[in-house]
Amino acid sequence: MRSIPSSMHLRQQLAQTFQSVRLAPLPGQAIGEDVAGLGPHDAAVLFGFRRRSAGFGQLVAAIQRRGSRSC
């Protein structure tokens, strides 16, 4: 759960410069819907501390297939 506070802090920092910054997924939502909405003009910042979920690598690959940059 360390990624949630880090993600929220980075979102606040990025929102000072960029118009559209959001966290995904929000509690109770699936990440697939958010990934499907990404395009070549989007960037994704992923947090994966220590024990990453089993699908972390697949998530990175899916974001890259959408043409978005992942950091």
Nearest to 39 by CA among 65, 70, 59, 68: 68
Q: What is the pLDDT of residues 26-48, one digit of tens each?
A: 778 888 888 888 888 888 888 87
Mean pLDDT of 53-58: 84
Q: Is the pLDDT of residue 2 over 80?
A: no
Domain residue spans in the chain? 3-70
Average pLDDT over residues 3-14: 88
Report long-range pairs for 61-65 (Cβ below 8 Å, ≥24 apart): 62/35, 63/35, 63/38
pTM for this one? Answer: 0.74
**Cis omega (within 30 of 0) for bond into 25:** yes
What is the rounded CA–CA span in Å between residue 49 and residue 2? 8
Task: Please tell me what DSSP assigns to residue 24.
Answer: S
